[in-house]
């Protein structure tokens, strides 16, 4: 599945996953030469960052991973500076512009930037990798390896070819894999059809809260053909606050994340007098990484369609509706077969996937049909402890997912210690005012926290037989 992401690149879409760490000033003054030397030493100890792609003859199959025999960190570690005292808005604008540039495919597919000039004497580390190298989960583990403390467990040998293979051997293996594909395609299709049949049968039950359905969602200002300009904005919440909301409503943290996204985007659209003819629909990447593959650096991911119930006025009711919807979406995702999506990507030919992505972009087909979905919302688990690097403490961390054709807004969430970072990565033409979103997010968080506390109080009052509890809250507490 790794190389499939490579072929989705177009002039307007770069399939990158990026990580941002805002660093506090340390006991010693900031020094780019000292920090870059330390980073060079650390990245050199990570085999996954020394591998590059080697195309197969005649593109008979996806490229192979090989070790870059000429690897030198100097080609990947870079520095830049913002005007002194710059804020997070300026940082978001800069890293989004860096992220929009293609990565050199003749070398390992990553860049690491040191960015100075933030207010309060802070600086930032920006780690940009191609999705072909790693998904969000394994990418976060790679990024964590750069910091002080115990190293995150990573399979040192994964994907490494210690001895450069002969082209004839690669060609033969690729050809054999291609010849096996017709049978594999039939097998995957059979499993998918069985799963779809079960889902359709279940949805006939009027009591069933269906999950999301592709193409069944309204068009928003950002659901259009994307350009090349990007921007980003960052927001944070404490893990303790998210857990309080989770516990009050007896839902999951991921449900809370989706509810915050729904409330924030609802406020954004209301302020622009955009009326929707239905619920916003998100695609949520789902890790299919088992314990056996937990330390691998690659892509093991599927996708789940989830409604955001943005049409529901009350924030508490909206969260509970999202919880019911995600439970249904999880069942439907599992029934369809989480491995089927990744299996289809693996079986798609190199030339076909690249040609389709290019054609879709050039013909601006995203403007000609109902959106497949409104946005991608990804929740990436990060380090549980607060990280440091060379004596500098991490203030907050963020992950940026790729902006896709037809969906010019991506929300990716990354937890680090007790701080949860929310990153809104957008097409700068479709969402020109992205830096207004963090304040809308803060309002949505306050609203949901107030609803959680009222809900908890209502449940307690109901247990005591208090009939003065407001009707809406009493309905919650049933």
Q: What is the pLDDT of residues 280-329, one digit of tens each?
A: 999 998 876 656 555 555 556 678 899 999 999 999 999 999 999 998 88
- Domain of residue 36, residue span: 1-478
Q: Is 24 helix (H, G, I), strand (E, B) or coil?
A: coil
| 16 DSSP β-pair partners | 130
Query: What parts of the chain have a pLDDT lower than 70?
Result: 1-3, 57-61, 150-192, 195-196, 199, 202, 207-210, 288-301, 337-351, 466-478
In SS3 terms, 362-423 reads as HCCHHHCCCCCCCEEEEEECCCCCCCEECCEEEEEEEEECCCECCECEEEEEEEECCEEEEE
Q: Could you give the CA distance from residue 441 to residue 409 in angstroms, rounded to a whole number?
A: 15
Strand 122-130 to strand 64-67: parallel, antiparallel, or no bridges (unpaired)? unpaired
**Active-site residue, selected from the candidate residues 130, 131, 398, 425:** 131
Q: What is the pLDDT of residues 223-254, one digit of tens each?
A: 999 999 999 999 999 999 999 999 999 999 99
Q: Which residues lie below 8 Å from residue 140, measured CB to CB, with a gap of 6+? A: 19, 380, 381, 382, 383, 399, 414
Residue 4: per-residue pLDDT: 75
Neighbour count for residue 113 (Cβ, 10 Å): 20
**Terminal CA-CA length for the chain:** 45
pTM above 0.85, yes or no: yes
Residue 467: per-residue pLDDT: 61
| 115 DSSP β-pair partners | 80, 124
Q: Please report, for the domain that includes residue 356, its CATH number.
A: 3.30.559.30
Question: Structurally, how many domains does the chain consist of?
Answer: 1
Q: Could you give the CA distance from residue 64 to residue 53 in angstroms, rounded to a whole number?
A: 6
Query: What length is written for the chain?
Result: 478
Neighbour count for residue 138 (Cβ, 10 Å): 28
Is residue 131 annotated as part of the catalytic site, yes or no? yes
Q: How many helices (H) and strands (E) does the chain have?
A: 13, 14
Token pair of 312, please?
Answer: 């529901």
């Amino acid at each position: 599945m790794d190389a499939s992401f490579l072929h989705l690149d177009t002039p307007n879409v770069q399939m990158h996953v990026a990580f941002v760490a805002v660093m506090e000033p340390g006991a010693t003054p900031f020094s780019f030469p000292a920090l870059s030397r330390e980073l060079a030493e650390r990245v050199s100890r990570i085999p996954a960052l020394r591998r590059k792609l080697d195309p197969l003859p005649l593109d008979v199959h996806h490229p192979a991973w090989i070790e870059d025999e000429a690897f030198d960190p100097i080609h990947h570690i870079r520095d830049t500076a913002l005007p002194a005292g710059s804020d997070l808005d300026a940082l978001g604008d800069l890293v989004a512009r860096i992220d929009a540039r293609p990565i050199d495919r003749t070398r390992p597919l990553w860049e690491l930037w040191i960015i100075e000039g933030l207010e309060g004497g802070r600086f930032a580390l920006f780690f940009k990798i191609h999705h072909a190298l790693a998904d969000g989960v394994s990418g976060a583990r790679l990024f964590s390896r750069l910091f002080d403390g115990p190293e995150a467990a990573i399979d040192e040998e994964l994907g490494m070819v210690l001895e450069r293979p002969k082209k004839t051997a690669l060609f033969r293996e690729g050809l054999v894999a291609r010849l096996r594909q017709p049978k594999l395609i039939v097998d995957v299709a059979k499993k998918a059809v069985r799963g779809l049949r079960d889902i359709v049968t279940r949805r006939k039950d009027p009591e069933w809260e269906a999950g999301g359905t592709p193409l069944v969602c309204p068009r928003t200002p950002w659901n259009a053909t994307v350009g090349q300009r990007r921007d980003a904005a960052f927001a944070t919440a404490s893990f303790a606050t998210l857990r309080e909301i989770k516990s009050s409503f007896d839902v999951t943290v991921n449900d809370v994340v989706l509810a915050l996204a729904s409330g924030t985007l609802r406020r954004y659209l209301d302020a622009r007098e955009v009326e929707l003819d239905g619920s916003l629909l998100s695609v949520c990447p789902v890790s299919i990484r088992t314990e056996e593959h937990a330390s691998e650096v690659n892509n093991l991911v599927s996708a789940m369609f989830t409604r955001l119930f943005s049409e529901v006025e009350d924030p508490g009711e909206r969260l509970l509706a999202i919880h019911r919807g995600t439970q249904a979406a999880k069942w439907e995702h599992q029934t369809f077969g989480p491995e089927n999506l990744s299996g289809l990507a693996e079986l798609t030919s190199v030339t076909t996937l690249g040609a389709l992505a290019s054609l879709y972009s050039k013909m601006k087909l995203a403007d000609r049909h109902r959106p497949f979905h409104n946005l991608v919302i990804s929740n990436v688990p990060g380090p549980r402890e607060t990280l440091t690097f060379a004596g500098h403490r991490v203030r907050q961390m963020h992950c940026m997912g790729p902006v896709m054709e037809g969906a010019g807004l991506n929300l990716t969430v990354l937890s680090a210690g007790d701080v949860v970072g929310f990153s809104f990565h957008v097409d700068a033409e479709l969402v020109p005012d992205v830096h207004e979103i963090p304040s809308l997010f803060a309002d949505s968080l306050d609203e949901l926290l107030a609803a959680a506390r009222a809900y908890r109080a209502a449940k307690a009052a109901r247990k005591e037989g208090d009939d003065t509890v407001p009707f809406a809250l009493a309905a919650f507490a049933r």
